[in-house]
Amino acid sequence: MNIPQPGILLPVPNQARYLSFSLGDPSLIRQGLHMLRELVDGEYTVVGLGQTLVSALDATIPGLKSFPMITAPGLAIENAPEVLWIWLRGEERGEILLRSQRLARALAPAFQLKEIWDAFKYAEGRDLSGYEDGTENPTGDEATSAAIVGTGNQTLAGSSFVATQRWLHNFDSLTSMSENEQDNCIGRRLADNEEMDDAPESAHVKRTAQESFTPEAFVLRRSMPWAEGNNGGLMFVAFGATFYAFEAQLQRMVGADDGIVDAIFKFTQPVSGAYFWCPALKNGKLDLTPLAR
């Protein structure tokens, strides 16, 4: 029986690293994937395969595609490499660094490491803006239903799709706002995380209320803050049984539905995005058999 990669459903760790790979030697791709199966446990190392890699194998994963082109005034989202994505989870930054080096060495030259972003848990699960992240996350069976492909799909059962975005915060803009202005951007009070009934329609909470879509648009968020030098933001990570919920929320955020743009863009913007398919595990190893169909 196939099971999801356990790290998808577990709470976010204290430390993390996100690795993005491009294609290297095309003749060694399958050898590289075999090595990946041996190194990945799905709990401390979660893996996603992108459309570029699947296409290079002349394979098809139903539902997998490239990150969509999002058009909105002042918004420019670059496509991150959509070949191989690895989320390293752990408690010690040094251990994660060494594991990252071992993976990069083992996967070369089939795959070439292109991007590294370190992330961390902040203030018991808050974004660097100070607001709690993932308050409306589904839990228990609802989390599994939202994030994992069900048994009705015999080919992909137990796998997941993940949308990733790197958001860059403008801390000068954020700190220039009063706390009330910040609360109105988010739709929750910083002081107690309570949702504000009188928040404006542009508030982030109202733009992304998952139950307000038809059909409902639930995702399982596993986002974490990132920092490099004096810059920082959020590594947005949303797992779903499909990409529908993520796309529905993003389209509403940019005002595609009603012309109302999410107020969160006043202090942060996504600068890159990518889509991946996260294979299930079978007997403790990544189940890559869908790639052979």
As annotated, the active-site residues are 133
The answer to whether 134 touches 146, Cβ cutoff 8 Å, is: no
Strand partners, 15: 90, 120
d(CA 237, CA 235): 6
Sign for the pseudo-dihedral over CA of 165, 94, 284, 82: positive
Q: Which helix (H) or strand (E) holds 9?
A: helix 6-9
* Beta-strand pair 220-221/231-240: antiparallel
Task: Give bridge partners of residue 3 from the DSSP assignment.
Answer: 281
Contacts of residue 49, Cβ cutoff 8 Å, sequence gap at least 6 = 61, 64, 83, 84, 85, 276, 277, 278, 279, 291
Angle at which helix 29-39 crosses helix 93-107, to 10 degrees, equals 150
State the burial class of residue 152 (Cβ atoms within 10 Å of its Cβ: 0-12, 13-18, 19+).
exposed
Question: Exposure of 123 by Cβ count < 10 A (0-12 exposed, 13-18 middle, 19+ buried)?
Answer: exposed
Rg (CA), the chain: 19
If you ran DSSP here, which 8-state letter would residue 285 be given? E
Torsion of Cα atoms, 76 then 81 then 82 then 83, to 10°: 180
- DSSP character string of 219-267: -EE--EEEEETTEEEEEEEEEESSSHHHHHHHHHHTTTTTSPPPGGGGT
